[in-house]
Amino acid sequence: MKDNLIGFAHGSGGRKTARLIKELFLKHLGNPILNRMEDAAELPVAGSRIALTTDSHVVYPLFFPGGNIGKLVVCGTLNDLAVKGARPRFMTAGFVLRAGMSMDVLERIVRSMAEELNKAGVQLIAGDTKVIEKGKVDDCYITTAGFGVLEHEQTFAPERIEPGDAICVSGNIGNHEAAVLLAREDFGFEHKIESDIANVWPLVGALIKAGVDVKAMRDPTRGGLATILNELAEAAGLGMIIKEADVPFSPAVKGAADMLGLDPYYLASEGRLIAIVAKDHAERALEVLKAEPLGKNAKAIGEVREKPEGLWLETLLGSERPLLILEGEQLPRIC
């Protein structure tokens, strides 16, 4: 791939995506809000704290164990609001459909969207549909915007992270990407892996209600746990250390990653959150998360430290190795 052409790595969520954003999008479109490059932007609208986000979804195949693109667009969008501490309220959706796509398939997708939106108490309030040329497969791309409201005084922002803060995850990591990958072809892998897609707002709402001092929050989507923690560490100008013994992976995901030669620390989840919480709030945070069905496997996996900068993994043998931001592409079209 030449550098002057768009490649899959530009959509992977890793270093090339970050470069595209900085050197092209921020160069021309930058402003104090966009430059923060957060999952959702907080808007200065008189009297309210409003959050707005957007997400494009091109996942392939459209259906996979544990979900489909419809469930994914809703949860992906709501989660971007939730990790900023905003209660999701409204969503928009723009559909780009291939001519020849089955109307029944589209209806199944829309029905999944409706189910997730209803569960979340969120309304779709605007939509658009465009049709493009026939392809070889049923295919659709859905881009959403999410609108949420911050109903509290807390601010989740990487600037608030301090040495000593605890790094918590709400459950097993990487199931979504493993499920999508295994749905693409028959690798002869015997364990069924379901995507972890879920709306994480109930977890976030519970942490806020319990008064847990959350410094920053993200969901480990494209680029996985390793990339997202790198981004948080870089934004905070600090280091992070996580323990291999404590990061929760299901044995099936570990096995699939081994078989396929992928590093599980870079596998995307779509229903998990990473919370950086004040040290003396870590225990309470885990209690609150574990009390929710979606958080029953929550774990504290490491802590923030002054130096060295970047993300480090304490291996089972007790040595430390750096976990860098995702280089190049891992798997295209996982979300």
- Contact call for residue 260 and a second copy (CB under 8 A): no
C-beta closer to a second copy: residue 58 or 260: 58
Among 100, 121, 164, 237, binds a second copy (CB under 8 A): 100
CA pair distance 106, 231, nearest whole angstrom: 36
242: which 2 tokens?
A: 């996580």
The CB-of-48 to a second copy minimum distance in angstroms stands at 6
The CB-of-98 to a second copy minimum distance in angstroms stands at 7
User: Closest Cα partner for 149 from 2, 50, 63, 225?
Assistant: 50
Positions 149 through 168 that interact with a second copy (CB under 8 A): 149
Given a contact cutoff of 8 angstroms between Cβ atoms, the answer to whether 333 and 200 are in contact is no
User: Closest Cα partner for 248 from 191, 174, 319, 180?
Assistant: 174
The CB-of-108 to a second copy minimum distance in angstroms stands at 10
Among 17, 79, 172, 199, binds a second copy (CB under 8 A): 17
Residue-by-residue DSSP string for 15-65: HHHHHHIIIIIIHHH--TTGGG--SSEEEEETTEEEEEEEEEE--SSSEET
| Site stretch for a second copy (CB under 8 A), options 97-105, 171-179, 238-246, 304-312 | 97-105
The CB-of-12 to a second copy minimum distance in angstroms stands at 8
| Site stretch for a second copy (CB under 8 A), options 3-11, 200-208, 266-274, 296-304 | 3-11
| Per-residue interface string for the shown chain with a second copy, residues 51-90, x marking contact by CB under 8 A | -xxxxxxx------------------------------xx
Given a contact cutoff of 8 angstroms between Cβ atoms, the answer to whether 169 and 273 are in contact is yes
Among 4, 153, 307, 317, binds a second copy (CB under 8 A): 4
Among 119, 125, 191, 280, binds a second copy (CB under 8 A): 125
CA pair distance 313, 332, nearest whole angstrom: 26
Among 63, 65, 98, 234, binds a second copy (CB under 8 A): 98
- Contact call for residue 94 and a second copy (CB under 8 A): yes
Given a contact cutoff of 8 angstroms between Cβ atoms, the answer to whether 274 and 217 are in contact is yes
Among 62, 78, 82, 145, binds a second copy (CB under 8 A): 145
C-beta closer to a second copy: residue 48 or 319: 48
The CB-of-32 to a second copy minimum distance in angstroms stands at 9
- Contact call for residue 97 and a second copy (CB under 8 A): yes
- Contact call for residue 29 and a second copy (CB under 8 A): yes
SS3 (DSSP) at 251 = helix
Angle at 8 between CA 3 and CA 14, to 5 degrees: 85
Compute how many residues bind a second copy; rule: CB under 8 A: 75
| 126: β partners | 92
CA pair distance 35, 120, nearest whole angstrom: 30
